[in-house]
Structure 1
Amino acid sequence: MKKTFITIVVLIIILLGYVVYSNFFDMNRLPIGSLISEERSPNGIYTIKFYLVNGGATTSYGIRGELNFNTIERNAKNIYWNYDEDEVVISWINDNKVVINGIELNLPNEKFDFRRER
């Protein structure tokens, strides 16, 4: 009886953890927004599309950056998510390194999510 109760409690905690993560921290569940800019890497391997996301009446705008792969068949992935921004300043350092609004990322593996920087 005690083992069953502990198992149920652990499963509930795991389920709640998954729900919180997927709804509040998963970059794949970000709002789409409207396209405001796109930049191609110097070698043409990547294109980053930037979207302005309206947070609604009670929150500020945000910027979502989506990395697209031009030379291989691979799904686009979110690499940049920042709150309280409505413009994008981007500069490519080299073929795989980019600076987005002062945040440096090495592509394709690094990403920036303001919710994880606190």
Structure 2
Amino acid sequence: MTSFLTKCAMDWFIAFGVVLGGTLLGGIGAVLIMEPPTTRMLLISEQIKIWAVVAAVGGTIDPIRVIESNLTEGYISPAIKQILYIVFAFIGAQVGTSLIQWICKGGNSS
């Protein structure tokens, strides 16, 4: 159980870090090419979210294969674990995107 929770936490932080780091560096790049950084950062945070999930769960199609092979063999627990890893990574990426949106919009929810 501990290794499962550790992997969930790591997937969350990796996805969060990919979104946050990629977006902040993209904002620096926008400044260097004379574009509005907040506009570019909002766009990047949405575009990079799916790649953050992919990076967090392993960067390949293997997690999907694990789900498929375990379900066809009748093993539900490993498939559910893989799905939960993906869910935790998605939540981390979404929190990163929400944080960037909050920062770029000045904390206003409008």
> Structure 2-normalised TM-score?
0.30
Q: With a CA cutoff of 8 Å and minimum separation of 6, indicate the structure with the bigger relative contact order.
A: 2
Larger Rg: 1
Specify which structure has the higher proportion of strand. Answer: 1
Specify which structure has the higher proportion of helix. Answer: 2
